[in-house]
């Protein structure tokens, strides 16, 4: 597959009508305010004129001029700048010409030269839009967010984007498998050396083995039983081979066979609730363990629930 691949962002009838009406209203208001300033010297009138002009200029700078598929991201072309939507973390790509129907604008531009910002509706929940024609909507679903774009040829875009995503997952997955194999060999070498040393010391006479200590922090704080173990996700929406590790030093490692490693801080709120941060956003989750080898996490305030099982060693990423 040859990248980059470019797609246009044509305006739909709704955007054309809204942009014309809003532009005329802003122009009339700015001209009237300017004449008011010229006639009466009122500084407030000049300020209003400047604000109305700045509103239109800001909307023009944020308009969407097209989309480009590159090796590492879907690039949204703006007026003189770009917004990048990375392949990393992208779970699915699907078309839905009613994705933006009956949407509530939470923040951003709702029809002056583009539909950009944060929106919500009952169908897909909260999402970010970089759109010009809602009837061409394509939904990009990430692990914790959704993005709506509107390329000129949605079906061709979906086909090309899925091909690019699959190719990237294969390349990243192969690199991860090779790295994991090297790390496994290093660990196995360490295990063999340790086993030989233990066998060499078996003739020193019997000793009474002490029970394993309870997991605690450096300050003596008792930690939940899932700390210090590697948990493998069995939730279908998670990328293949997703693992999560809660370490006693209050760092959390999350990775998968197709994503890079992510290390964040975590903490205990109560016996049934923990928290961590992702991209400076605090997240709380309810935690439960039906059995010692099963872990359930449910993000508070959402329907996102994930199930993990204690990983069995050796473990190898599935073929992608």
Residue 105 has pLDDT above 90, yes or no: yes
Bond preceding residue 314 cis, omega within 30 of 0 = yes
As a whole number, mean pLDDT of residues 66-87 equals 95
* Measured distance CA(295)–CA(306) in Å, rounded: 8
Question: According to the per-residue pLDDT averaged within each range, which of 52-56, 273-277, 279-283 is highest?
Answer: 52-56
Residue 249 has pLDDT above 90, yes or no: no
Secondary structure (3-state) at 312: coil
As a whole number, mean pLDDT of residues 226-230 equals 90
Helical H segments across 84-225, by residue range: 154-200
As a whole number, mean pLDDT of residues 91-109 equals 93
What percent of the chain is predicted at pLDDT more than 70?
Answer: 84
Residue 231 has pLDDT above 60, yes or no: yes
Contacts of 260 (CB under 8 A, 6+ apart): 88, 172
pLDDT of residue 255: 87
Question: According to the per-residue pLDDT averaged within each range, which of 42-51, 131-140, 240-249, 295-304 is highest?
Answer: 131-140
Residue 49 has pLDDT above 50, yes or no: yes
- What rounded mean pLDDT belongs to the chain? 84
* Measured distance CA(44)–CA(297) in Å, rounded: 55
Concatenating the DSSP letter of every residue in 233-248 gives E--TTSPTT-EEEE-T
For residue 59, give the H/E element and its range: helix 43-61
pLDDT of residue 116: 96
Q: Where are the domains of the chain?
A: 5-11+64-163, 222-320
pLDDT of residue 203: 46
pLDDT of residue 58: 92
For residue 280, give the H/E element and its range: none
With bands split at pLDDT 50, 70 and 90, how would you rate the model's confidence at 305? Answer: confident
CATH topology of domain 222-320: Lipocalin (2.40.128)
Half-sphere exposure of 57 (CA within 13 A, CB side): 7
Contacts of 193 (CB under 8 A, 6+ apart): none
Q: Rounded to whole angstroms, what are the CA distances from 131 to 84, 143, 313? A: 14, 21, 47
As a whole number, mean pLDDT of residues 279-301 equals 87
């Amino acid at each position: 597959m040859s990248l980059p691949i470019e797609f246009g962002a044509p305006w739909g009838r709704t955007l054309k009508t809204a942009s014309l009406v809003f532009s005329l209203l802003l122009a009339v208001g700015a001209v009237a305010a300017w004449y008011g300033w010229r006639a009466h010297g009122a500084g407030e009138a000049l300020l209003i004129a400047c604000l109305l002009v700045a509103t239109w200029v800001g909307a023009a700078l944020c308009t969407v001029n097209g989309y480009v598929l590159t090796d590492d991201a879907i690039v949204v072309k703006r007026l003189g700048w770009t917004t990048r939507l990375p392949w990393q973390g992208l779970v699915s790509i699907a078309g839905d010409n009613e994705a933006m129907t009956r949407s509530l604008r939470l923040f951003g531009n709702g029809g002056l030269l583009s539909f950009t910002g944060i929106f919500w509706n009952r169908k897909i929940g909260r999402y970010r839009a970089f759109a010009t024609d809602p009837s061409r909507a394509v939904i990009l679903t990430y692990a914790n967010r959704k993005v709506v774009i509107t390329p000129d040829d949605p079906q061709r875009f979906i086909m090309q984007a899925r091909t690019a995503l699959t190719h990237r997952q294969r390349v990243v997955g192969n690199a991860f498998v090779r790295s994991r194999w090297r790390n496994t060999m290093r660990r196995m070498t360490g295990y063999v050396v340790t086993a030989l040393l233990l066998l060499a010391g078996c003739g020193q006479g019997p000793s009474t083995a002490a029970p394993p200590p309870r997991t605690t922090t450096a300050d003596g704080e008792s930690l939940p039983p899932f700390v210090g173990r590697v948990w493998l996700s069995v939730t279908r929406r998670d990328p293949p081979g997703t693992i999560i590790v809660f370490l006693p030093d209050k760092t959390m490692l999350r990775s998968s066979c197709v994503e890079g490693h992510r290390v964040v801080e975590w903490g205990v709120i109560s016996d049934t609730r923990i928290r961590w941060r992702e991209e400076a956003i605090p997240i709380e989750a309810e935690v439960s363990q039906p059995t010692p080898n099963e872990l359930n996490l449910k993000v508070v305030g959402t329907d996102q629930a994930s199930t993990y099982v204690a990983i069995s060693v050796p473990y190898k990423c599935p073929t992608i």
